[in-house]
Structure 1
């Protein structure tokens, strides 16, 4: 483990995303092999650097002293979501083709929505991931 790659700033803070996953190895493989992330910590918890951010993945678990009464549960796959990972890319068509070839399952191909071109995929646990490229949004000057 390279401690210099951990999400541990010398000052201020960094944003990381925690995902409760059913199978750490399967999720790690998706974020590394499909999306091109880099393993920082293999497990307990798994930490993957993904572009300029980090994903922390571990199974769910019950309350602890620092979160009394709170239980972390794995995502229930369905059509209702309350949050999702948003990946902003320079070229959505190229990202779509590359990630699809590596096994990503997209809901649709990229769709031009005026301000952006975007599409969505799901990770192995069913978490929704938006892949978007700003286009018309940049013209608002």
Structure 2
């Protein structure tokens, strides 16, 4: 089992997403992408490769982020950040994840120095696979 992302020293990088249905998103990152659920509930934590996806519900501002409201994406055509997953064999991963239910925008595309394609999680968060 993967360890909870709490380093004894240095830093650990995790990707936080806001989900309208935490369980649905947890299943996507675990069952479709092959992650391991470390924590159920709010927040849910899924170990994915050498990183972690933290999934939580949205909410109003808090005292440590007084003007920030957390919510899933509303306009899927305007994105300010996305998860980037690098894989050894994009064609094999593309087929495997499609077979598990991943919704890709296009098949892998040869961009010269890289092959890449994009998909969305259940709430519409953009994910690049390259």
Q: Give the TM-score band, short-chain normalised.
A: over 0.9
The aligned length equals: 130
Give the alignment's TM-score, normalised by structure 1. 0.88
Once the 2 structures are TM-superposed, how far is the Cα of residue 77 of structure 1 from its aligned partner?
Answer: 4.0
Aligned mate of 2:12, from 8, 11, 14: 14
Runs (4+) off by over 4 Å: none
Alignment of structure 1 residues 9-48 onto 2, 5 Å = 9-48=7-46
Give the alignment's TM-score, normalised by structure 2. 0.95
Once the 2 structures are TM-superposed, how far is the Cα of residue 61 of structure 1 from its aligned partner?
Answer: 0.7
In structure 1, what is the equivalent of residue 87 of structure 2?
89
Aligned mate of 1:73, from 67, 71, 74: 71
In structure 2, what is the equivalent of residue 109 of structure 1?
107
More helix by share: 1
Structure 2 unaligned blocks of 5 or more: none
**Segment drifting more, 74-83 vs 49-58:** 74-83
8 Å contact from structure 1 (residues 77, 127) kept in 2: no
Task: Compute the RMSD of aligned alpha carbons.
Answer: 1.2
Larger Rg, first or second structure (1 or 2): 1
8 Å contact from structure 2 (residues 42, 57) kept in 1: no
In structure 2, what is the equivalent of residue 60 of structure 1?
58
Q: Deviations over 1:15-74 (max 9, x none)?
A: 111101000010001000100000010111100001000011111111222222321122
Q: Distance in 1 between matches of 2:93 and 2:4?
A: 26
